[in-house]
Amino acid sequence: MSKTLAFEEPIVKLREKINELEEYTAVNDVDLSSEIVNLKNRLVKLETEIYESMEPWDRVQVARHPERPTTMDYITRLFENFIEFHGDRNFGDDEAIIGGIASFEEMPITIIGHQRGKDTKENVKRNFGMPHPEGYRKALRLMKQAEKFHRPIICFIDTKGAYPGKAAEERGQSEAIARNLVEMAGLKVPVISIVIGEGGSGGALALGVANHIHMLENSTYSVISPEGAASILWKDSSLAKQAAEAMKITAPDLKEMNIIDEIIPEVLGGAHRDANKQSLEIRSTLRRSLKTLGELTSDELIDNRYNKFRSIGVFSE
């Protein structure tokens, strides 16, 4: 049984009640089947109700669910012949970002993504999916490699942010992110970025200067975490729930602001309920995106990316 999130509690309670009744009928000689059917119908209704009216903070919880599928989970389900490539050829190999080549429905592609861990041990190894500069430089190296061999690039965004540490600063965290933004702008191949969990600030954007940006329904993309926003704006990090609403960080919010292209629907209750089914949804979006972008020339791809980011901003003249 996966971790229960606060907003899911009514569902869990009802499910427990049904289980209780079922156990009771099994042991005792009482027929409660009609009640059970009733309750099961109510459960379906309740689930639809709750999952279809999720508040921003509920989505943040789903996006952060410890069992939420990671980049690697999608790589194994979406691509064939994946080979992981390591290192930035300069300092080291940052395991908070993975990348490599594979085929997607017969087409060679390059995949790059933030990689979280699912348990403490793996999270330590992956630095909780928070990259150092060498992670971004590895990503850029693989993008340039993809460009050379005319492979489309698919990025999975899933990070709380670039790592705020001493070594990261010494090795130029700012420059590593900044360089990716500029270089991605000029890539001659299609770039598709999909936010699969948390899209945290510059550390996310460094894999996000794409032709198409898609977001899983319950993922978030923001300039700062809700906790960080609350503590800066209201000097109180416990107001994170309100900040999550005010900052407009959910997929529907970003779609409305015209920043992303598609919202990829999630399986009921969130991607962690069924990674296989979730991958099918991602697959169809990816197929569509690759087809559209495949029709553009290198110059058109660069112009398309230029116009996409050029138009973001709200002001009056």
Partner 1 sequence: MSIKQLFKKKSKVDQHTMPSAKSKADVPEGIMTKCPECKHVILTKDLLKNGKVCPSCQHHYKMTAQERIDHLFDEGSFESLDDHLKTENPLDFPSYTEKVEADAQATGLNEAVLTGVGNIQGSQVAVAVMDAHFRMGSMGSVVGEKITRAVEKATELGIPMLIFSASGGARMQEGVISLMQMAKVSVALERHANKGLLYISIMTYPTTGGVSASFASVGDINLAEPKALIGFAGRRVIEQTVREKLPEDFQTAEFLLNHGQLDAVVHRNDMPEEMNKILKLHARKGAVLV
Binding site for partner 1 (CB under 8 A): 162-166, 168-175, 177-179, 181-183, 185-186, 201-202, 205, 208-209, 221-224, 229, 232-233, 246-249, 254, 257, 259, 305-306, 309-310, 312-317
In whole angstroms, how close is the CB of 246 to partner 1 at the nearest point? Answer: 6
Cβ–Cβ under 8 Å, residues 14 and 43 = yes
Least Å from the CB of residue 179 to partner 1: 6
Nearer to partner 1, 116 or 273 (CB): 116
Tokens representing residue 146 in the block: 């993809």
Cβ proximity to partner 1, 24 vs 234, nearer residue? 234
Nearer to partner 1, 106 or 317 (CB): 317
Cβ 243 to partner 1, closest distance in Å? 10
State the Cα–Cα distance between residues 233 and 213, nearest whole angstrom. Answer: 28
Least spacing, CB of residue 148 vs partner 1, in Å: 18
Nearer to partner 1, 230 or 271 (CB): 230
| 259 in Cβ contact with 213 (< 8 Å) | yes
Judged by CB, which is closer to partner 1: 170, or 295? 170
CA angle 248, 251, 255 (to 5 degrees): 85
Give the largest Cα separation in the chain, rounded.
Answer: 77
- Contact criterion met (CB below 8 Å) for 119 and 70: no
The whole-angstrom separation of Cα 203 and Cα 115 is 13
Q: Which is nearer to partner 1, 11 or 192 (CB)?
A: 192
Q: CB of 35: closest distance to partner 1 in angstroms?
A: 47
Two tokens at 169? 């600063």
Provide, rounded to whole angstroms, the least separation between the CB of residue 103 and partner 1: 29
Nearest in space to 20 (alpha carbons), one of 32, 3, 10, 8: 32
Q: Which is nearer to partner 1, 37 or 185 (CB)?
A: 185
Strand partners, 220: 198, 250
CB-nearer residue toward partner 1: 159 or 201: 201
We find the least distance from the C-beta atom of residue 311 to partner 1, in angstroms, to be 9
Instruction: Enter the tokens of residue 153.
Output: 């690039």
- The phi, psi pair for 93, rounded to 5°, reads -115, 120
Please name which of 180, 90, 163, 157 lies closest in space to residue 126, comparing C-alpha atoms.
163
| Of 137, 140, 198, the residue nearest 173 (C-alpha) | 137
Considering the complex, what minimum distance in angstroms separates the CB of residue 135 from partner 1? 13
In 155-297, which residue ranges form alpha helices assigned H by DSSP? 166-170, 173-185, 201-205, 226-233, 240-246, 251-256, 275-294
Cβ atoms of 249 and 235 closer than 8 Å: no
